[in-house]
Amino acid sequence: MPNSENTILSVNDLKVHFPGKRKFGQPQRWIRAVDGINFDVKEGETLGLVGESGCGKSTTARAILNLIHRAKVQGTIHLNGTRIDNLSDRAMISHRRTVQMVFQDPFASLNPRMMVGNIIREPMANYKLFGDKTGRRLEVIRLMELVGVSPQYMNRYPHEFSGGQRQRIGIARALAVQPKLIICDEAVSALDVSIQAQVINLLMDLQQKLGVSYVFIAHDLAVVRHIAHRVGVMYLGKIVELADSKELYDSPKHPYTTALLSAAPVPDPLVDVRANRITLTGEVPSPDIEYEGCSFADRCPQVLGHCASTMPQLSGTDHQVSCLLYEDDNVDKSDPPNSNSAEVFV
Amino acid sequence: MGQPVLQVKNLEVEFVTDDGIVRAVNDISFDLYPGETLGIVGESGSGKSVTNLTVLGLIPQPPGRVVSGEALFDEHDLLELSHRQFQTIRGKRIAMIFQDPMTALNPFLSIQEQLIEVSMLHLGHTRAQAIDHAVELLELVGIPAAASRITEYPHQFSGGMRQRVMIAMALSCEPDILIADEPTTALDVTIQAQILDLLKAMQDKRGMAIIFITHDLGVVASICDRVMVMYGGRKVEQADTKTLFASARHPYTLGLLDSAPRWDQPQQKRLQAIEGQPPDMMNLPAGCAFAPRCDWKTDECSAAVPELVSIGSETTESHVVACIHADQIQQARSASSEEVPHA
């Protein structure tokens, strides 16, 4: 579905099912890491993906990069108008220039035996960009200045840098091939608050200057609100709600989003978070269960009678939500129906 | 608030490494009162964890070395205790929860074996008594079907459940002090909320004091009564939580507060990041360790390490800050907050 021109990434009904451990005499179980998700990312836009561990955020990232092996992958992924999900590793190489990744752990994602200048230069050399060695050297200098690491440190090794600086080097490496889309998988989670703010500012500045798009995956709801234009909330391999950042945080619709937000701490002792916390019972169930209805039904404080048997669809135009409470009318409903068993701690 | 249950005075700890001496903790003093939660905030390497590991006698010596100071607990100086004496206190009267519940539990032993060890050792329980006690504890911390799950192994528990097991283990002997070192950092927000509620409930029930080490200001705001801010191995500011969030004076504390994004407010244009990098503990700058990153820096800042000065007479709680420009900062902040009404 290569639609409007400025769409960089289009994910359609993506499913990634990993084979589970096979027990003797039992049928093969499938871990439904990603179970039918749809979203688009436009040029210069940041799409945030939030959710708890195991909800499929990182698997989605790896699927976009076509890095999933030994799993059933269904659905389509269009990158810059070209379908990439069915490409071989070799054919994928030419598209890897369009999409790059910044990883969570700035200690593990840089080769400790390479000087940082070479780490940034390598992707350029792979694609024979910027003419010759001298041209690439100049580009490395330009990129290091762009991300705020002094180019005089080009010949140092990763261990000589702090976590924040290493993350800047990782960003410079991602930028080296002039990608249109950068996937940031928990890219600032490992950093201290003051350094985290520096890197977030850097990512936002780069977007302004270069017009690059981001898929920003994080579990920190505050960071995602700050950086993302639109936010998708994932639960058990599905996007349960997708809306503009302000809209999603100010008037969340899906009961899971509401619960997630109510659990997030606020750095202000005058805000009594506990007063309106919705405490979810239990934990996220195993992703190898195939649900007939809504997978959140057995933990949902607003569950309806037919939730466990009817599969909700992500619907709506700007503010999409996948919940039977909103199924009847995709027109915005101002007040949600009465909660029937909400556990509200006062 | 009565007598403090723990008094740490002028603690100084250093590590001798091949590359030089790391002065991890410099002149740290604090009191901890029964029933309160003291938050310790700071970046990685600011000495938060070393301070508390020293109090528990868990710093390997060498390479670590306690240069000076004392930690008074129940008329003992914890720093003077022998290994054997410490065993009657650690785990029994002062307990600890670690950040990573996967590595803190022994993967080869069942939850039962790990839980009963504590009470058999410290409370003199028989094996049968200890198992009953352990099941009670697991029920207390909210593990469903505790009696049957107790024989399982750590890998069969999820992260949140493992952290509950750690808390059960720490509470086993009803300690006077619980030291929690980033207990929720590795957990998802919904699980974090459950664990914070649990700690609060346990504290209300048992009246124990908690030292809560974290870098998450949201967690501080929701659970701590008082906060101590550390930078470069020193205490730079301390106040009760409300005062600290409302009228912090140290530029580092202010920087921390300003750089944390909030999900409950519309996004600002830019985050106010603290420029520069955390200090190199191997060669800390002369004078104030924060000076190289500070907007208020003057020449005097590098002359001497600023003293902790008590300020804020308007509240009964003590508010101390180590910055020679604290008064100017306060004037500037109150002036600017008049211009821009608080949103």
* Range B87-116 average pLDDT: 87
- At residue A305, the pLDDT reads 84
DSSP A315: B
Q: Is residue A334 scored above 70 in pLDDT?
A: no
- At residue A336, the pLDDT reads 47
Query: What is the C-alpha to C-alpha distance for residues A48 and A223, in angstroms, rounded to an integer?
Result: 9
The nearest CA of chain B is from the CA of A331 a distance in Å of: 24
Interface contacts (A, B; CB < 8 Å): 134
Using CA coordinates, name the residue in chain B closest to A205.
B270
- Give the model confidence (pLDDT) of B195-225 as tens digits: 888 888 889 888 899 999 988 888 899 899 9
Burial of B133 (0-12, 13-18, 19+ CB in 10 A): buried
A337 to A241, A277, A301, B114: CA distances (angstroms):
17, 18, 12, 47
Neighbouring-strand partners of residue A233: A50, A241
Instruction: Identify the three-state secondary structure at position B177.
Output: strand
Chain A hits for B194, Cβ within 8 Å: 279
Instruction: Identify the three-state secondary structure at position B207.
Output: coil
Chain B hits for A192, Cβ within 8 Å: 43-44, 215, 278
- Give the model confidence (pLDDT) of A91-118 as tens digits: 888 888 899 999 888 888 899 999 999 9
Give yes or no for A197 touching B (CB within 8 A): yes
First-to-last alpha carbon distance for chain B, in angstroms, is 35
Going by their DSSP bridges, the two strands B64-73 and A277-278 should be labelled as: unpaired
Burial letters A150-169, b for 16+ CB under 10 A, else e: ebebbeebbeebbbbbbbbb
Instruction: Identify the three-state secondary structure at position B84.
Output: helix
**Who among B44, B218, B261 is closest to A226 (CB)?**
B261
- At residue B23, the pLDDT reads 87
- Give the model confidence (pLDDT) of B105-139 as tens digits: 889 999 999 999 888 888 888 999 999 999 988 88
For testing contact with chain A, the best of B46, B143, B196, B264 (most A CBs within 10 A) = B264
Crossing angle between the packed helical segments A255-263 and B189-206, to the nearest 10 degrees: 50
Q: Is residue B79 scored above 90 in pLDDT?
A: no
B303 to B288, B299, B307, B323: CA distances (angstroms):
8, 7, 12, 12
Query: What is the C-alpha to C-alpha distance for residues B258 and A226, in angstroms, rounded to an integer?
Result: 13
Chain A hits for B218, Cβ within 8 Å: 222, 264-267
Q: Is residue A208 scored above 50 in pLDDT?
A: yes
pTM of the predicted protein model? 0.84
Determine how many CB atoms are found less than 10 A away from the CB of residue B41: 26
Chain A hits for B245, Cβ within 8 Å: 267-270
Indicate yes or no: CB of B221 within 8 angstroms of CB of A268: yes
- At residue B40, the pLDDT reads 94
Indicate yes or no: CB of B216 within 8 angstroms of CB of A164: no
A92 to A67, A88, A89, A95: CA distances (angstroms):
10, 6, 5, 5
Range with the poorest average pLDDT among A238-247, B44-53, B309-318: B309-318
Indicate yes or no: CB of B222 within 8 angstroms of CB of A193: no
B84 to B23, B57, B68, B73: CA distances (angstroms):
28, 11, 22, 16
- At residue B124, the pLDDT reads 87
The nearest CA of chain B is from the CA of A192 a distance in Å of: 6
Q: Are B146 and B138 in contact (CB under 8 A)?
A: yes
Q: What is the percent of chain A with per-residue pLDDT over 70, rounded to a whole number?
A: 92
What tokens were used for A36? 């039918």
DSSP A29: P
- At residue A4, the pLDDT reads 53
B122 to A131, B83, B118: CA distances (angstroms):
72, 15, 6
Indicate yes or no: CB of A266 within 8 angstroms of CB of B263: yes
* Range A311-325 average pLDDT: 88
The nearest CA of chain B is from the CA of A66 a distance in Å of: 27
* Range A210-214 average pLDDT: 93
| Residue tagged 């890491």 (tokens) | A33
Range with the poorest average pLDDT among A40-44, B91-95, B271-275: B271-275
Split at pLDDT 50, 70, 90, the class of B339 is: low
CA atoms A247, A102, A136, A117: torsion sign: positive
Q: Is residue A3 scored above 90 in pLDDT?
A: no
Using CA coordinates, name the residue in chain B closest to A161.
B277
Query: What is the C-alpha to C-alpha distance for residues B282 and B28, in angstroms, rounded to an integer?
Result: 18
Split at pLDDT 50, 70, 90, the class of B327 is: confident
Name every residue whose Cβ is closer than 8 Å to that of residue B8 and which is 6 or more positions away in sequence: B28, B29, B30, B31, B32, B51, B55, B69, B70, B71, B72
Task: Strands of chain A (E only): list them.
Answer: 7-19, 30-42, 46-50, 72-79, 82-83, 99-102, 181-185, 213-217, 230-235, 238-244, 277-278, 320-321, 344-345
What tokens were used for A197? 């703010």
**Who among B242, B259, B268 is closest to A194 (CB)?**
B259
Indicate yes or no: CB of A269 within 8 angstroms of CB of B161: no
**Who among B190, B222, B273 is closest to A197 (CB)?**
B273
| Residue tagged 């990993």 (tokens) | A18
Indicate yes or no: CB of A192 within 8 angstroms of CB of B215: yes
Indicate yes or no: CB of B264 within 8 angstroms of CB of A249: yes
Chain B hits for A265, Cβ within 8 Å: 189, 192-193, 196, 216, 218-219, 221-222
